[in-house]
Amino acid sequence: MADRLRTRSSARNALVWRTLQGAVADLTAALGREHLDVLDAGGGTGGIAVPLAELGHRVTVVDTSPDSLAALERRAADAGVTARVRGVQGDAASTPDLLHDLLVEDPSAGRQQPASFDLAICHSVLAFADDPAAVLAGVTRTLRSGGVASIVAANAVAAALHRAIAGRFDEALHVLRDPFGRYGPNDPVPRRFSPSEVRALVEAAGLTVVTTHGARVFADVVPAGSLDVDPQAADALIELELQAAGVPALRDIASVLHLIARR
């Protein structure tokens, strides 16, 4: 797993991958089977879906972009997992309706059933959603009882800190005052959340938070050149990120918040 982690991720996403893989391992053990039915809401070109399919899981990706879904199809073909990856065009908030006529194998029933999932992934989607609560509610509706959701959301506290470090104090102040956690009209991220806000959204959708980690505590503020000086620096930064993820004070200033929740 360590080799796979290093080949498929960088210091910026190592924690998210490690946490997701841990959740997958726990869920497969709890269900007593090796392979899961997975929903990747807003999964784009398959950066998560294809690696999971390579592990044997069946993944349905819902995304609004036909170009992204075409790239997903090519990536799945290159990896030899076309049979285990399915793309569906549509908005994440409408996922249950989009999937209503799709069938998946339900191991507990021993037959095909309308699409439902053991694991739902909702990474970096809430920031771009008109109604984040509707997205989480839709994703939750697709989960089987006891199913698990992996949610990644941008952290407003981190954005304020990063703008201040860059010397943009007016923008840092704007982040803290803006209800969407934006630093101004040129901010490419439409919405960020405080740790308490994202937890409240997840719980309002009917999910119980199991763990909360902070990802990219240091990776987004370390000068890029510092990784070029020492060949071991990237590995050291990954280990630092993994250690920092569960420290409450550091978790709350991480660039993104990663929650694992159960239905």
Instruction: For 136-175, write each residue's pLDDT tens digit.
Output: 999 999 999 999 999 999 999 999 999 999 999 999 999 9
Report yes or no: 19 and 256 within 8 Å, Cβ to Cβ: no
On average, the pLDDT of the chain sits at 89
Residue 47 binned pLDDT confidence (cut-offs 50, 70, 90): very high
Span 184-241, pLDDT tens digits: 999 999 999 999 999 999 999 999 999 999 999 998 888 867 776 676 888 888 899 9
Q: Please give the average per-residue pLDDT across 46-72, as a whole number.
A: 96
Note the pLDDT tens digit of each residue in 75-121.
999 999 999 999 999 888 777 777 766 655 555 556 556 578 999 99
Which DSSP string do the residues of 204-233 spell out, in sequence order? HTT-EEEEEEEE-SSTTTS-TTHHHH-TTH
Q: Please measure the distance between the N-terminal and C-terminal CA atoms of the chain and give it in whole angstroms.
A: 27
Q: Which domains does the chain have, with CATH numbers?
A: 2-154+194-220+232-262 (3.40.50.150), 156-192 (no CATH)
